[in-house]
């Protein structure tokens, strides 16, 4: 039976084994999927051992996405742009292919929720999560994609890196006060994981606009509640993105597209228990 796994540290909280096992049942694919949590300095040896034991592919989460990028001998365009890999494929000739499905997962979830993508978009955060989704967002040709981050220089670096791919700029929290409202506000920062809000003005939210938080939990994240309190029509958490990026990885490995809606419903039920 083909073996797959997710690598991360910590990893106990990962929903990936459940998601991919459900995908396999749904699509009649014979595979097993586990979670592996190597020490921070043991990622490469853990991957080597996994391949030696018959591993066919792996998902990669924090803090190993950059290491996965470095070890891949073949990179997809989206992985090259993100400079991070969350999907590894171990080929029969001994080579390793790297891909990044985070942006595809976000885009699929936004489309599932009928969120308009061609208008003014604000992306909060300038870390790996942001880097993985910028190119797919720019491919939707928004009027402008603005990046804001606590450390402004990081946002400027990202805007400069992607400027040849679309209308993108970096603004400070103070500058956002002069920019008016955004049709879609995406929080890629880790603020919600700590029950905190990003340090930006509430004036960013548009009445009847949209908001998206890449974090998720059993109840609304603080960012989702904040957006709803400031008049957006819909605020969405990141569970659908999690399932969507997993579905894209599954397709990379198995060339079969699973139904994400069924699995997201099951996960929501799990979270609410």
Residues annotated as part of the active site: 65
Residues forming a β-bridge with 2: 31
How many C-beta neighbours within 10 Å does residue 166 have? Answer: 16
Beta strands in the chain (DSSP E): 2-7, 31-36, 55-60, 74-75, 87-90, 96-99, 120-124, 144-148, 168-170, 182-187, 205-213, 234-236
CB 247 within 8 A of CB 99: no
Tokens at residue 249, please? 């990885």
> Cβ neighbours of residue 123 under 8 Å, at least 6 residues apart?
130, 133, 134, 137, 145, 146, 147, 148, 186, 188
Distance between CA 267 and CA 271 in Å, rounded?
6
Measured at the alpha carbon of residue 15, what is the angle toward residues 12 and 19, in degrees to the nearest 5? 145
- In angstroms, the Cα distances linking 106 to 59, 62, 130, 245 are 16, 17, 11, 7
CB 97 within 8 A of CB 89: yes
């Amino acid at each position: 039976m083909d073996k797959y796994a997710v690598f991360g540290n910590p990893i106990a909280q990962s929903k990936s084994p459940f998601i991919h096992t459900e995908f396999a049942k749904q699509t009649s694919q014979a595979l097993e999927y586990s979670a592996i949590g190597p020490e921070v300095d043991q990622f490469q040896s853990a991957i080597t051992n996994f391949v030696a034991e018959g591993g066919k592919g792996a998902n990669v989460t924090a803090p190993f996405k950059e290491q996965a990028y470095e070890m891949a001998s073949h990179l997809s365009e989206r992985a090259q742009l993100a400079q991070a890999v969350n999907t590894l494929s171990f080929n029969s000739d001994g080579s390793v292919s790297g891909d990044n499905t985070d942006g595809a997962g976000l885009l699929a979830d936004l489309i599932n929720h009928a969120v308009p993508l061609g208008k003014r978009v604000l992306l909060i955060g300038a870390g790996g999560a942001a880097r993985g989704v910028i190119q797919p967002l720019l491919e939707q040709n928004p009027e402008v994609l603005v990046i804001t981050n606590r450390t402004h220089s990081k946002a400027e670096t990202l805007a400069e890196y992607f400027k040849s791919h679309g209308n993108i700029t970096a603004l400070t929290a103070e500058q956002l006060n002069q920019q008016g409202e955004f049709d879609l506000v995406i929080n890629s920062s880790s603020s919600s994981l700590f029950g905190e809000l990003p340090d930006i003005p509430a004036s960013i939210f548009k009445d009847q606009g949209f908001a998206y938080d890449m974090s998720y939990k059993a109840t609304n994240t603080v960012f989702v509640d904040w957006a709803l309190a400031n008049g957006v029509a819909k605020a969405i958490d990141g569970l659908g993105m999690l399932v969507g990026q997993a579905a894209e990885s599954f397709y990379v490995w198995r060339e079969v597209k699973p139904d994400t809606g069924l699995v997201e419903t099951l996960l929501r039920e799990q979270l609410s228990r």
